[in-house]
Amino acid sequence: MTDTAAPALTPEAKLALFRDRRDQTVVQQTGSLALTNTQWVDAEQTIWGVPGKWAPHETGLAVTATADDNIIVDGRLVEGTVIVRSKSDDEPSSIVFGETVTGFVIKAPEGNHALRVWDSNSPAIQEFGTIDAYPYNPEWVITATFTPNPEGTTLGFEHLKDNGQEREQPIPGDISFTKDGVDYNLAAFKAGRALQLVFADATSGVDTYSVGRFLFIAPNPDGTIVLDFNLAILPPCAFSYNFNCPMPPKQNRFTVAIEAGEKNVLTKDGSLLHE
């Protein structure tokens, strides 16, 4: 019997597929380039770019509109006042404003809510060219040690728009390794089933996006954890100023250049979408 199994992909080929998917993902209906507004609602108010009046509610927001406003919440046209449940609710609401414009409500750790508006035909999507990235670099595929932390261990992460305030995030374990004679001890917080490493390095603000980059990782059963910085991605705020991204804590700021992973968002003419 002839073996017809496809040959294994090289690391370079796998990375090319990953980057193709990234380019496709950011232009989807709720992709990073589609976010046109995030507006916090602390009193009854209008929201830029969409109709209706919006007010705080314990489970999300209350919207008051007429049929002419053509707001559809959970499949029904709004006429009067309707409660829009947040994404953190067991049954979150969906909102449709038009053919390409949708929305949903998010909840802050403090308990207040915001409306996020998405447009799959946003100016940023129309201008988007590609995500610039480094070629595959095997030097930045690191096998590190993952040491679990005691239950309840947290670390404060500053966010871009929080005026220096920190949000405590659970840190499941320490990530340590030695490279070129330098010892590193990094902190990553829990993000679904993975860990999210928020880092900066000597390329930040020079060759890569100034705020930093993300790397999603998962510990192995044997206590190791692989940091493949070729899979480092730009944070959502590199695509839209309407995101509020976490910033790298002190121990995740490398003094060396990590020349691997995504660099910047480029427009069709090759210029930077955001500085």
Query: Are 38 and 242 contacting, i.e. CB atoms less than 8 angstroms apart?
Result: yes
Domain end point (choices 77, 93, 119): 119
117, 220 contact by CB (below 8 A)? no
Report CA 186 to chain centroid distance, whole Å.
19
Please tell me whether the overall predicted TM-score, pTM, comes out greater than 0.85 for this model.
yes
72-73/173-179 β-pairing:
unpaired
- Indicate whether 5 belongs to any domain: no
Nearest to 201 by CA among 137, 133, 129, 261: 261
Task: Write down the pLDDT at residue 166.
Answer: 86
- Taking 70 as the pLDDT cut, the residues of the chain under it are 1-6, 275
**What three-state secondary structure class fits 43?**
coil
Helix (H) or strand (E) holding 13, with range, is helix 11-25
Do 47 and 76 lie in one domain? The reply is: yes
Rounded to whole angstroms, the Cα distance separating 141 from 147 reads 19
39 has which bridge partners? Answer: 115
Regarding whether 80 and 37 lie in a shared domain, the answer is: yes
Q: Kindly state whether residues 58 and 160 are assigned to the same domain.
A: no
- Residue 187 parent element (H or E): strand 182-191
Half-sphere exposure of 167 (CA within 13 A, CB side): 16
E-assigned strand segments in 17-133? 35-41, 45-47, 50-57, 60-65, 72-73, 76-77, 80-85, 95-96, 101-107, 113-119, 128-133
pLDDT in tens, 154-166: 999 988 888 778 8
112 with 168, same domain: the answer is no
Asked if 45 and 139 sit in the same domain, the reply is no
Q: Residues 103, 147: one domain?
A: no
Domain that holds residue 56: 32-119
How many structural domains compose the chain? 2
